[in-house]
Amino acid sequence: MDAEKKQTEQLRQMLEKSQRIVVFTGAGISTESGIPDFRSPGGIWSKNQPINYQDFISSEEMRIESWRRRFALGKVLDQARPNPGHLAVAKLVQRGKAACVITQNIDGLHQQAGVPDDKVIELHGNTHHAVCLECGKRFELAPIRQAFEQNPHAPVCDICGGMVKTATVSFGQSMPAAKMHAAREQTVNCDLFLSLGSSLVVYPAAGFPEIAKRNNARLAIINRDLTSMDHLADLVIHDGIGPVLAAAVDPE
């Protein structure tokens, strides 16, 4: 058995023996669906520096630029579809193996793949809708896009007049406390923490693998590049997520 098949078989056995898996996903699982990541060379932030939350709040110009960027990315985001990695994760949830998916991604592809909303903890929010920062009203993007294309401006809430922003967590914006708490609780209680496509460098989310290990869970990491937590893992696979996970979840 070659090294790749041996690692996939190890992963299959880990999945089979586990009863309460927590799946943690980063940008690497979605790049396989054609969505560019943010941090890598050539990524989104190498072309446009991220807009800080305080700049969004204080500057009409920055709010307009933020919306311009979102709609410029719209075609890529709207056309992206779940890949074999997302579908394999969904199968783990549907079979009762995985208790939840904790994700740093904002693309909603886990839900598209079949993971129920209540099983997905989106630490950085979701880019497919917007919210009023004052009253919390939800807004769909299509009407905002149509109005923006006719007259580029920063939308405001039709209820309270508050600023409307995509439902994502920006630089300088507080992480959602309830979701962080839920993610920690799930991590503490898992028996296998499966990290997919995350460099595991962005805290506090990157601390979850450490929490899992401290609570006697096994740790498996699939990521094309080295991560800061490889030394803690029971299994590390440096390869594409989709082919490896699909083969482990549904072996021939």
Q: Are 198 and 30 in contact (CB under 8 A)?
A: no
> What is the set of active-site residues?
124
Single-letter amino acid code for the residue at 194: L
- Cα 134 to its chain centre, rounded Å, is 25
Cis, bond preceding 204 (omega within 30 deg of 0):
yes
User: What is the per-residue pLDDT across 105-158, written as a single tens digit (0 to 9) for each?
Assistant: 999 999 999 999 999 999 999 999 999 999 999 999 999 999 999 999 999 999
Q: What local confidence, expressed as pLDDT, does residue 72 receive?
A: 87
Question: Which parts of 169-207 fold into alpha helices (H)?
Answer: 177-188
Sheet holding 138-140, edge to edge: 138-140, 125-132, 164-168
Integer Cα distance of 123 and 182 in angstroms: 10
Single-letter amino acid code for the residue at 14: M
Q: What local confidence, expressed as pLDDT, does residue 47 receive?
A: 55
Q: In the structure, what pLDDT confidence band is assigned to residue 246 with cuts at 50, 70 and 90?
A: very high
User: What is the per-residue pLDDT across 70-118, written as a single tens digit (0 to 9) for each?
Assistant: 998 877 888 899 999 999 999 999 999 999 999 999 999 999 999 999 9
Phi, psi of 186 (to 5 degrees): -65, -40
pLDDT value at 182 more than 60: yes
- If DSSP codes are grouped into helix, strand and coil, which group holds residue 62? helix
Place of tokens 């960027």: 69
Q: What local confidence, expressed as pLDDT, does residue 205 receive?
A: 77
Q: In the chain, pLDDT over 70 holds for what percent of residues?
A: 95
